[in-house]
Amino acid sequence: MAEVLSQNQIDALLSAALSGTMDLEPPKEDQQEKKYRKYDFYSPRKFTKDRLRILSGIFDSYTRILTSRINGLLHTACDVELESIEEQRYYDFSNALTEGDVLTVANISYRDQLLEESPILLHVTRPVLLSMIDRLIGCIGDPDNDLPVDYTLTDLELKLYETLMRDFISIMGSSWENYISLDFQFSRVETNPTLVQLISLDETVVIVDIKLSFPNCEGRLSICLSGILLTNLFADISKENSTVKGNSEDKSEDIFSSLRTSELQLVVELCRTRLSLSDIYHLSVGDVIDLNRPKDSPVYINVGERRWFDGRVGVYNKNLAIKIEETYRLREGDVEQDGK
């Protein structure tokens, strides 16, 4: 409810306005209104930026492989570039297709199991598709601008298109090798994708758009990946990474076990002294060298030319032995006693 002013407040406002002490202009906004990105609660995001970044790296590698394959098949210079990776509903992808479009269906074979319930869909825009077919039969691939909008591919063009897509799909698995071992297999071609519902309309999918640029035309290759399929693949990738980490730890334990049984030279040092070269030259059997230490002083035990222990000389089972009494630890270049 709006605030009601009293008569005294009204008179005061009018007096201030007439005297010019009140600014009648509306206050200017010092800062622009903060804008917020709309979030679709009906279709929430399933994949984090890190996972989309993984997909970006995978398909960036795929574009490099695809570039050499297209150039070899069509004997032309084609520039293949990853354009975008977006998460959306399948309805948005399906709604953009027309009756004359051709859709390729592919499946993934993982651990000798064919995942037919989560297909991969590939779509090539019509101008660049007809240009590639034209090049396959020996022409230069110039686009025909007089074709009707509802033009449908002939049986021969469909066969050539199938040959192309089989080749494009067969090389797709090599770009996933750094993460997981997958085998992509061609399934079939749908000539009227608007009548085929391969994925639920409300299911979240990831659309990968790849730009194909030929000297005389350009178009787009779109790859639709099911959200359920990607969720399962990312779960297996995380599992395999943890397994690899565990295996590496097991191998390190094996290495340490091998090191524990390795042989090292152990030197017991009673004391150090200095002698002149002439004294050493005249030494003979029976001579005594004064070490300036009592006979019951501890000896130093060196491993790998470093002091590790102090001990006492004694006898064990009628053999000369050393009893360890102190341990040394090397810290930042200094020798520190560990105590008795």
| 234 inside domain | yes
171 and 217 part of one domain: yes
Long-range contacts (CB closer than 8 Å, 24 or more residues apart) made by 155-162: 157/130, 157/133, 158/102, 158/189, 158/191, 160/133, 160/136, 161/102, 161/129, 161/133, 161/189, 162/104, 162/186, 162/189
232 and 285 part of one domain: no
Pull the structure tokens for residue 8: 């005294």
List average pLDDT for each run of 10 residues in the chain, which is 340 residues long.
61 68 56 60 72 91 92 89 90 84 89 81 90 88 79 89 92 89 90 80 90 91 91 84 57 71 79 84 85 80 81 84 79 46
Domain that holds residue 304: 262-337
What is the pLDDT, as a whole number, of residue 185?
92
DSSP 34: P
**Any idea what the CATH number is for the domain that residue 271 is in?**
2.30.330.10
What is the pLDDT, as a whole number, of residue 332?
44
What is the pLDDT, as a whole number, of residue 337?
47
pTM of the model: 0.60
What is the pLDDT, as a whole number, of residue 161?
92
Reference 83, options 206, 210, 172; nearest CA is: 210
| 16 inside domain | no
| 77 inside domain | yes
What is the pLDDT, as a whole number, of residue 1?
43
